[in-house]
Amino acid sequence: MSLKEKAPDRVIVVGGKEFRIYKYFDEQLGEELLNFPDFDESPVYTDDGRPFKMAIQECCPKGKPLNEEYDDPGDCSGCVWFHLDNAVDAIGICMCDELRLPQRRIENGEGG
């Protein structure tokens, strides 16, 4: 059965985009895990050019901590620029303007 025929194990909708998440068997751990997208390897963008990120993804150099007592947000979930449509989801949008795609690339159909 192909992935198109199989029902996803989880669906996350954020920024108007649907991510269909499937489980896979991890031989090393001996258990099934959810196979989330690797946005570093294969970036995906909103229609207005903002990058999707995993909440647990290591924060980039542009990150700004939610808590001003810290210098480093750690992961995207600790960054002021990270937006979730639903607090329990693992995928969100980076709202940092410096990481947004230039408008001309979006108009040419790239990045999405």
List pLDDT tens digits, range 19-39: 999 999 999 999 999 999 999
pLDDT of residue 104: 52
Tell me the C-alpha to C-alpha distance, in Å, between residue 27 and each of 31, 32, 34. 7, 9, 14
pLDDT tier for residue 66 given thresholds of 50, 70 and 90: confident
pTM of the model: 0.80
DSSP for 31-92 reads EEEEE---TTTS--B-TTSPBEEETTSBPPTT--BSSTT-S---BGGGBTTEE-SSTT-SEE
Collapsing DSSP to helix, strand or coil, 104 comes out as helix
Q: What are phi and psi of 23, to 5 degrees?
A: -85, 155
pLDDT of residue 109: 56
In the chain, what are the domain boundaries? Answer: 10-105
What's the mean per-residue pLDDT of the chain? 87
pLDDT of residue 59: 87
List pLDDT tens digits, range 69-108: 777 778 899 899 999 998 889 999 999 999 999 875 555 5
Tell me the C-alpha to C-alpha distance, in Å, between residue 6 and each of 2, 31, 46, 78, 90. 6, 19, 26, 34, 21
